């Protein structure tokens, strides 16, 4: 069964995929941090470093104060 799934997945062309992350910046993504406006990436919480999307809290003041967040993609699927 796994072999059939792998073979079917390999048949997809690159044109059928929609890239969501460009590896450079947060283009297409909308951050939401609790207590801040939609789109305000408070303290650079979500960032791209070395081609990776990272969540960092190093610029937060202490205490953490129950801040949490989400990233939303701008286009629905």
- The string of DSSP codes covering 5-72 is HHHHHHT--GGG------SSS-TTEEEEETTS-TT--GGG-EEEETTEEEE--TTPPSS-TT--EEEE
Q: Is the pLDDT of residue 4 over 60?
A: no
Q: Is the pLDDT of residue 19 over 70?
A: yes
Asked if 46 and 26 touch (Cβ cutoff 8 Å), the reply is yes
- Compute the average pLDDT of residues 16-32: 95
Q: Is the pLDDT of residue 77 over 90?
A: no
């Amino acid at each position: 069964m796994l072999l059939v799934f792998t073979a079917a997945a390999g048949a997809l062309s690159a044109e059928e995929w929609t890239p969501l992350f460009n590896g450079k910046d947060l283009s297409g993504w909308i951050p939401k941090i609790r207590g801040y406006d939609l789109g305000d990436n408070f303290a650079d919480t979500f960032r791209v470093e070395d081609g990776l999307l990272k969540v960092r809290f190093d610029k937060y003041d202490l205490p953490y104060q129950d801040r949490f967040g989400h990233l939303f993609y701008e286009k629905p699927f």
